[in-house]
Amino acid sequence: MEQGYNPRTVEEVFRDFKGRRTGLIKALTTDVEDFFQQCDPEKENLCLYGFPSEQWEVNLPAEEVPPELPEPALGINFARDGMQEKDWLSLVAVHSDAWLLSVAFYFGARFGFDKADRKRLFNMINDVPTVFDVVTGSAKKQQKEKSLISNNSSNKSKSNSKPRTIESTQAKFSKPQPKDEEPNDDDDGLDEEDEDEHGETLCGACGENYASDEFWICCDICEKWFHGKCVKITPARAEHIKQYKCPSCSNKRARP
Protein backbone atom coordinates (compact mmCIF):
# COMPACT_ATOMS: atom_id res chain seq x y z
CA MET A 1 0.00 0.00 0.00
CA GLU A 2 1.00 3.65 -0.28
CA GLN A 3 3.18 5.14 2.39
CA GLY A 4 2.42 8.54 3.89
CA TYR A 5 -0.58 9.40 1.68
CA ASN A 6 -3.20 11.04 3.88
CA PRO A 7 -6.06 13.01 2.29
CA ARG A 8 -7.43 15.38 4.93
CA THR A 9 -10.42 17.22 3.41
CA VAL A 10 -13.71 15.84 2.10
CA GLU A 11 -12.67 16.75 -1.44
CA GLU A 12 -9.28 15.04 -1.05
CA VAL A 13 -10.85 11.88 0.40
CA PHE A 14 -13.36 11.77 -2.46
CA ARG A 15 -10.55 12.24 -5.00
CA ASP A 16 -8.71 9.36 -3.33
CA PHE A 17 -11.90 7.26 -3.48
CA LYS A 18 -12.44 7.96 -7.20
CA GLY A 19 -8.84 7.10 -8.06
CA ARG A 20 -9.00 3.77 -6.23
CA ARG A 21 -12.43 3.04 -7.71
CA THR A 22 -11.18 3.67 -11.26
CA GLY A 23 -8.26 1.31 -10.69
CA LEU A 24 -10.57 -1.45 -9.43
CA ILE A 25 -12.96 -0.99 -12.35
CA LYS A 26 -10.05 -1.30 -14.77
CA ALA A 27 -9.03 -4.58 -13.17
CA LEU A 28 -12.55 -6.00 -13.47
CA THR A 29 -13.35 -4.72 -16.98
CA THR A 30 -10.71 -3.54 -19.46
CA ASP A 31 -7.85 -5.41 -17.73
CA VAL A 32 -9.93 -8.45 -16.75
CA GLU A 33 -7.77 -10.96 -18.66
CA ASP A 34 -4.63 -9.87 -16.79
CA PHE A 35 -6.54 -9.77 -13.49
CA PHE A 36 -7.92 -13.29 -14.07
CA GLN A 37 -4.44 -14.68 -14.71
CA GLN A 38 -2.93 -13.03 -11.64
CA CYS A 39 -5.56 -14.53 -9.33
CA ASP A 40 -4.03 -18.00 -9.42
CA PRO A 41 -5.85 -20.31 -6.96
CA GLU A 42 -2.55 -22.11 -6.34
CA LYS A 43 -1.06 -19.01 -4.73
CA GLU A 44 -1.55 -17.82 -1.15
CA ASN A 45 -4.32 -15.43 0.00
CA LEU A 46 -4.45 -12.61 -2.53
CA CYS A 47 -6.16 -9.20 -2.39
CA LEU A 48 -7.17 -6.71 -5.08
CA TYR A 49 -5.90 -3.20 -4.30
CA GLY A 50 -6.91 0.04 -6.02
CA PHE A 51 -4.65 3.08 -5.78
CA PRO A 52 -5.33 6.85 -5.93
CA SER A 53 -3.25 6.88 -9.13
CA GLU A 54 -6.05 4.85 -10.84
CA GLN A 55 -3.86 1.75 -10.94
CA TRP A 56 -4.60 -1.69 -9.46
CA GLU A 57 -2.58 -4.54 -8.02
CA VAL A 58 -3.14 -8.14 -6.95
CA ASN A 59 -0.90 -8.86 -3.99
CA LEU A 60 -0.57 -10.50 -0.60
CA PRO A 61 -2.14 -8.60 2.33
CA ALA A 62 -0.08 -6.18 4.39
CA GLU A 63 2.07 -7.86 7.03
CA GLU A 64 1.82 -5.17 9.70
CA VAL A 65 -0.90 -5.55 12.34
CA PRO A 66 -2.95 -3.44 12.46
CA PRO A 67 -2.45 -2.41 8.80
CA GLU A 68 -1.90 1.20 7.76
CA LEU A 69 -5.27 1.19 5.97
CA PRO A 70 -8.24 -1.20 6.01
CA GLU A 71 -7.44 -4.30 3.93
CA PRO A 72 -9.47 -5.63 0.96
CA ALA A 73 -11.13 -9.07 1.05
CA LEU A 74 -8.65 -11.92 1.46
CA GLY A 75 -8.39 -14.95 -0.77
CA ILE A 76 -10.25 -13.73 -3.84
CA ASN A 77 -8.14 -16.11 -5.92
CA PHE A 78 -9.43 -19.26 -4.18
CA ALA A 79 -12.95 -18.88 -5.59
CA ARG A 80 -11.85 -18.08 -9.15
CA ASP A 81 -12.28 -21.56 -10.64
CA GLY A 82 -15.12 -22.67 -8.37
CA MET A 83 -17.83 -20.48 -9.90
CA GLN A 84 -18.85 -18.82 -13.15
CA GLU A 85 -16.46 -16.03 -14.10
CA LYS A 86 -19.17 -13.35 -14.15
CA ASP A 87 -20.33 -14.42 -10.69
CA TRP A 88 -16.77 -14.38 -9.39
CA LEU A 89 -16.16 -10.89 -10.82
CA SER A 90 -19.43 -9.71 -9.28
CA LEU A 91 -18.34 -11.06 -5.90
CA VAL A 92 -14.98 -9.31 -6.13
CA ALA A 93 -16.80 -6.11 -7.17
CA VAL A 94 -19.07 -6.22 -4.10
CA HIS A 95 -16.10 -6.67 -1.77
CA SER A 96 -14.28 -3.87 -3.62
CA ASP A 97 -17.17 -1.48 -2.98
CA ALA A 98 -17.11 -2.38 0.73
CA TRP A 99 -13.35 -1.79 0.85
CA LEU A 100 -13.60 1.59 -0.89
CA LEU A 101 -16.14 2.79 1.67
CA SER A 102 -14.06 1.51 4.58
CA VAL A 103 -10.96 3.35 3.33
CA ALA A 104 -12.86 6.60 2.73
CA PHE A 105 -14.48 6.63 6.15
CA TYR A 106 -11.24 5.51 7.80
CA PHE A 107 -9.74 8.78 6.56
CA GLY A 108 -12.86 10.60 7.73
CA ALA A 109 -12.54 9.19 11.24
CA ARG A 110 -8.80 9.71 11.39
CA PHE A 111 -9.02 13.37 10.49
CA GLY A 112 -12.07 14.19 12.56
CA PHE A 113 -14.82 14.68 9.98
CA ASP A 114 -17.97 15.91 11.71
CA LYS A 115 -21.52 14.80 10.90
CA ALA A 116 -21.87 17.32 8.06
CA ASP A 117 -18.55 16.28 6.51
CA ARG A 118 -19.41 12.58 6.71
CA LYS A 119 -22.81 13.21 5.13
CA ARG A 120 -21.27 15.28 2.35
CA LEU A 121 -18.64 12.61 1.69
CA PHE A 122 -21.28 9.88 1.54
CA ASN A 123 -23.45 11.92 -0.84
CA MET A 124 -20.48 12.53 -3.15
CA ILE A 125 -19.68 8.81 -3.15
CA ASN A 126 -23.32 7.88 -3.62
CA ASP A 127 -23.57 10.04 -6.74
CA VAL A 128 -21.21 7.78 -8.71
CA PRO A 129 -22.07 4.19 -9.71
CA THR A 130 -20.62 1.44 -7.56
CA VAL A 131 -17.98 -0.94 -8.89
CA PHE A 132 -20.66 -3.63 -8.84
CA ASP A 133 -22.99 -1.45 -10.96
CA VAL A 134 -20.27 -0.89 -13.55
CA VAL A 135 -19.11 -4.52 -13.67
CA THR A 136 -22.56 -6.12 -13.79
CA GLY A 137 -25.05 -3.34 -14.62
CA SER A 138 -28.13 -2.75 -12.49
CA ALA A 139 -31.63 -3.48 -13.81
CA LYS A 140 -32.32 0.23 -14.11
CA LYS A 141 -29.11 0.80 -16.00
CA GLN A 142 -29.80 -2.08 -18.36
CA GLN A 143 -33.25 -0.66 -19.11
CA LYS A 144 -31.81 2.76 -19.90
CA GLU A 145 -29.11 1.26 -22.12
CA LYS A 146 -31.66 -0.74 -24.11
CA SER A 147 -33.74 2.39 -24.60
CA LEU A 148 -30.69 4.33 -25.77
CA ILE A 149 -29.66 1.53 -28.10
CA SER A 150 -33.15 1.45 -29.58
CA ASN A 151 -33.15 5.20 -30.11
CA ASN A 152 -29.74 5.17 -31.76
CA SER A 153 -30.68 2.22 -33.97
CA SER A 154 -33.73 4.08 -35.26
CA ASN A 155 -31.57 7.12 -36.05
CA LYS A 156 -29.02 5.08 -37.96
CA SER A 157 -29.94 5.16 -41.67
CA LYS A 158 -26.68 4.10 -43.29
CA SER A 159 -24.71 0.83 -43.21
CA ASN A 160 -25.51 -1.77 -40.55
CA SER A 161 -21.98 -3.15 -40.80
CA LYS A 162 -20.42 -0.46 -38.60
CA PRO A 163 -20.40 -0.40 -34.79
CA ARG A 164 -22.75 1.94 -32.97
CA THR A 165 -21.15 5.17 -31.83
CA ILE A 166 -22.82 8.14 -30.21
CA GLU A 167 -20.57 10.55 -32.08
CA SER A 168 -21.44 9.10 -35.49
CA THR A 169 -25.20 9.32 -34.90
CA GLN A 170 -24.96 12.82 -33.46
CA ALA A 171 -22.33 14.25 -35.85
CA LYS A 172 -24.78 16.70 -37.40
CA PHE A 173 -25.30 18.28 -33.98
CA SER A 174 -21.61 18.91 -33.30
CA LYS A 175 -20.49 20.19 -36.75
CA PRO A 176 -18.79 23.63 -36.40
CA GLN A 177 -20.51 26.69 -37.90
CA PRO A 178 -18.82 28.54 -40.80
CA LYS A 179 -17.29 31.85 -39.74
CA ASP A 180 -19.64 33.91 -41.89
CA GLU A 181 -22.81 32.31 -40.50
CA GLU A 182 -24.60 33.08 -37.29
CA PRO A 183 -24.96 30.21 -34.76
CA ASN A 184 -28.17 28.26 -35.27
CA ASP A 185 -30.40 28.21 -32.21
CA ASP A 186 -32.05 25.02 -33.46
CA ASP A 187 -28.70 23.23 -33.32
CA ASP A 188 -28.26 24.36 -29.73
CA GLY A 189 -31.61 22.86 -28.92
CA LEU A 190 -30.57 19.58 -30.53
CA ASP A 191 -27.37 19.57 -28.49
CA GLU A 192 -29.40 19.93 -25.30
CA GLU A 193 -31.77 17.20 -26.44
CA ASP A 194 -28.79 14.94 -27.17
CA GLU A 195 -27.35 15.61 -23.71
CA ASP A 196 -30.70 14.79 -22.09
CA GLU A 197 -31.11 11.60 -24.12
CA HIS A 198 -27.70 10.16 -23.27
CA GLY A 199 -27.07 11.86 -19.93
CA GLU A 200 -27.79 8.68 -17.95
CA THR A 201 -25.46 6.49 -20.05
CA LEU A 202 -22.54 5.10 -18.03
CA CYS A 203 -19.21 4.05 -19.46
CA GLY A 204 -18.72 0.28 -19.02
CA ALA A 205 -15.03 0.84 -18.24
CA CYS A 206 -14.75 3.90 -15.97
CA GLY A 207 -18.39 4.29 -14.89
CA GLU A 208 -18.52 7.99 -15.72
CA ASN A 209 -21.53 9.67 -17.36
CA TYR A 210 -21.98 10.59 -21.01
CA ALA A 211 -20.75 13.97 -22.23
CA SER A 212 -21.68 15.33 -25.67
CA ASP A 213 -18.11 16.36 -26.48
CA GLU A 214 -16.72 12.83 -26.13
CA PHE A 215 -16.65 9.88 -28.55
CA TRP A 216 -18.52 6.77 -27.40
CA ILE A 217 -18.81 3.27 -28.88
CA CYS A 218 -21.21 0.40 -28.12
CA CYS A 219 -20.16 -3.25 -27.78
CA ASP A 220 -22.18 -5.39 -30.19
CA ILE A 221 -22.00 -8.37 -27.81
CA CYS A 222 -22.92 -7.07 -24.32
CA GLU A 223 -24.43 -3.79 -25.65
CA LYS A 224 -22.61 -1.64 -23.09
CA TRP A 225 -21.34 1.83 -24.05
CA PHE A 226 -17.73 2.91 -23.56
CA HIS A 227 -15.67 6.09 -23.87
CA GLY A 228 -13.51 5.64 -26.94
CA LYS A 229 -10.49 6.69 -24.87
CA CYS A 230 -11.21 4.00 -22.24
CA VAL A 231 -11.10 1.19 -24.80
CA LYS A 232 -8.53 2.86 -27.06
CA ILE A 233 -10.86 3.27 -30.05
CA THR A 234 -10.81 6.47 -32.12
CA PRO A 235 -13.61 7.64 -34.44
CA ALA A 236 -11.35 6.95 -37.43
CA ARG A 237 -10.63 3.41 -36.27
CA ALA A 238 -14.32 2.75 -35.56
CA GLU A 239 -15.13 3.45 -39.20
CA HIS A 240 -13.21 0.28 -40.14
CA ILE A 241 -14.71 -2.03 -37.48
CA LYS A 242 -17.61 -4.18 -38.68
CA GLN A 243 -18.50 -5.60 -35.24
CA TYR A 244 -17.05 -4.07 -32.09
CA LYS A 245 -16.32 -6.29 -29.07
CA CYS A 246 -15.28 -4.67 -25.80
CA PRO A 247 -12.20 -6.05 -23.96
CA SER A 248 -14.33 -8.11 -21.57
CA CYS A 249 -16.29 -9.82 -24.34
CA SER A 250 -13.14 -10.40 -26.41
CA ASN A 251 -11.42 -12.03 -23.44
CA LYS A 252 -14.42 -14.24 -22.65
CA ARG A 253 -14.51 -15.62 -26.17
CA ALA A 254 -10.74 -16.18 -26.28
CA ARG A 255 -10.63 -18.10 -23.00
CA PRO A 256 -11.55 -21.83 -23.22
Calculate the average pLDDT of the chain.
79
Q: Binning pLDDT at 50, 70 and 90, where does residue 163 land? A: low
User: Residue ranges of the alpha helices (H) in the chain?
Assistant: 10-28, 32-38, 85-110, 115-126, 131-136, 139-155, 166-169, 171-174, 185-198, 235-238, 247-254
What are the residues facing 50 on neighbouring strands?
56
Task: Kindly calculate the radius of gyration of the chain based on its CA atoms and give it in whole angstroms.
Answer: 21
Interatomic CA distance for residues 153 and 150, integer angstroms: 5
Q: Which residue has the higher pLDDT, 174 or 239?
A: 239
- DSSP string for residues in 57-115: EEEPPP-SSS-SS----S-TTTTGGGS-HHHHHHHHHHHHHHHHHHHHHHHHHHTT--H
The pLDDT assigned to 172 comes to 33
Instruction: Give the pLDDT score at 141.
Output: 58
- How many whole angstroms separate alpha carbon 1 and alpha carbon 61? 9
Confidence of residue 177 (pLDDT cuts 50, 70, 90): very low
List Cβ neighbours of 216 (8 Å cut-off, separation of 6 or more).
Answer: 165, 166, 167, 198, 201, 203, 210, 225, 226, 227, 228
Q: Please give the residue that has the higher pLDDT: either 166 or 52.
A: 52
- State pLDDT tens for residues 12-62: 999 999 999 999 999 999 999 999 999 999 999 999 999 999 999 999 998
Q: What is the rounded CA–CA span in Å between residue 243 and residue 240?
A: 9
Residues sharing a CB contact under 8 Å with residue 211, sequence separation 6 or more, in sequence order: none
pLDDT exceeds 80 at position 194: no
